């Protein structure tokens, strides 16, 4: 058996010298170290040897196995090194070729406009206050002066998550950022219920409505809510704030106009238009020949809403406004289809 092991080792090492590639090396490993190789059969036959011969044969078989495994590893490293040297010798690398440029990401156009709006409002003293996207009917409608079955609810088709107890207070995806007004007022009013502090905040966030998707309307959109509450706040403060915002957003020469409107949570209410910055107010296809572009809705906070927020309407007044970043981005960049913002078309996004 010992002579047989010497023969197995000598024959395997001689065969290994002629191996020149990885495929042949794997075949050699199977033939000389595999389960059915002569060496492995020696291990299988140890039990048939006399007890006094087993230690010597077993020790020598392990030595042969270790020698063959070491030779296999050495040969493998030699073949890898030879392959590298051959690649360096035969394959040429043109180091003068320009590298492949990395495609850098950029902010989404909605995010760019949203950040610009919030930056302007921050310069004007507004703090950013965020609120939840999933609301109850109470916060989304009732506390904002939308009683159940009120006709104004038809202005906003809602996406309901669950019906709620007996259908009285269902859960829905917020249709506007206005519920944040109640959350914010109650948060600040809790600090000092007898004499709540004044508020000046901006509430950005995503809103959701069950609407037909068209070039002018989407099922989801960003909105920025502005709220100011304090003593002796008047409609003149609202007009001055929004006129200043328009000049910072659309240029120092921008003019605005206020048109009477209706929102259940403000009284009086108004729509705000800015003079068309494309035609300078002369009338064009962008402003539909009117010379004006609608940018937001606003009004004085309704006394019911103030009271629901924890502020005494006999002592406090306030104003609120809401605007859509996508709407303003469409106006600034003459984007004709709001669906471009959420289609993830790289050809559109790369322009920003």
For 30-81, the pLDDT digits (tens) are 888 888 888 888 888 877 888 888 888 888 888 888 888 898 898 889 889 9
pLDDT at position 168 is 72
pLDDT class of 308 with cuts at 50, 70, 90: very high
Cis peptide, bond prior to residue 268, ω within 30 of zero: yes
Helical axes 2-17 vs 22-33, angle rounded to 10°: 170
| Total Cβ atoms within 10 A of residue 133 | 14
Higher pLDDT, 39 or 215: 39
Which whole number is the average pLDDT over 106-129? Answer: 93
Q: Can you tell me the distance from the alpha carbon of 275 to that of 237, in angstroms, rounded to the nearest whole number?
A: 20
Q: Which DSSP state fits 10?
A: H
Q: Which DSSP state fits 209?
A: -
Which whole number is the average pLDDT over 296-303? Answer: 95
Q: Can you tell me the distance from the alpha carbon of 260 to that of 255, in angstroms, rounded to the nearest whole number?
A: 17
Instruction: End-to-end CA distance of the chain: give it in Å, rounded.
Output: 80
Indicate if the pLDDT at residue 286 is higher than 70. Answer: no
pLDDT class of 155 with cuts at 50, 70, 90: low
Indicate if the pLDDT at residue 90 is higher than 70. Answer: yes
Q: Give CA angle at 171 (166, 174), nearest 5°.
A: 145
Q: Can you tell me the distance from the alpha carbon of 292 to that of 286, in angstroms, rounded to the nearest whole number?
A: 9
Contact 179, 144 (CB under 8 A): yes
Q: Can you tell me the distance from the alpha carbon of 272 to that of 324, in angstroms, rounded to the nearest whole number?
A: 13
pTM, 2 dp: 0.66
């Amino acid at each position: 058996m010992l002579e047989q092991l010497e023969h197995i080792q000598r024959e395997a090492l001689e065969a290994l010298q002629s191996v020149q590639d990885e495929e042949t090396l794997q075949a050699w490993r199977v033939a000389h170290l595999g389960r059915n190789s002569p060496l492995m059969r020696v291990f299988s036959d140890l039990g048939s040897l006399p007890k006094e011969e087993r230690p010597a044969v077993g020790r020598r078989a392990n030595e042969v196995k270790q020698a063959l495994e070491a030779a296999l590893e050495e040969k493998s490293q030699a073949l890898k090194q030879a392959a590298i040297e051959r690649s360096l010798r035969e394959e040429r690398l043109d180091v003068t070729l320009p590298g492949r440029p990395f495609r850098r990401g950029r902010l989404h156009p909605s995010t760019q406009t949203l950040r610009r709006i919030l930056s302007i409002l921050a310069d004007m003293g507004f703090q950013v206050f965020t609120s939840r996207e999933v609301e109850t009917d109470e916060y989304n409608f009732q506390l904002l002066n939308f009683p159940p079955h009120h006709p104004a609810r038809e202005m906003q088709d809602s996406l309901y998550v669950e019906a709620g107890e007996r259908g009285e207070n269902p859960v829905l995806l917020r249709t506007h950022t206005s519920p944040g007004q109640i959350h914010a007022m109650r948060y600040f009013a809790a600090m000092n219920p007898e004499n709540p502090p004044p508020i000046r905040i901006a509430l950005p966030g995503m809103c959701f409505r069950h609407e037909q998707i068209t070039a002018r309307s989407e099922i989801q959109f960003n909105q920025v809510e502005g709220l100011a509450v304090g003593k002796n706040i008047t409609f003149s403060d609202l007009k001055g704030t929004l006129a200043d915002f328009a000049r910072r957003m659309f240029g120092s020469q921008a003019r605005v106009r206020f048109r009477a409107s209706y929102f259940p949570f403000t009284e009086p209410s108004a729509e705000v238009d800015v003079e068309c910055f494309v035609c300078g107010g002369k009338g064009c296809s962008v402003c539909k020949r009117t010379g004006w572009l609608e940018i937001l809705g606003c009004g004085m906070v309704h006394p019911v809403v103030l009271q629901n927020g924890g502020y005494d309407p006999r002592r406090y007044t306030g104003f609120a406004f809401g605007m859509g970043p996508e709407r303003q981005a469409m106006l600034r960049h003459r984007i004709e289809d709001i669906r471009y913002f959420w289609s993830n078309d790289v050809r559109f996004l790369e322009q920003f």
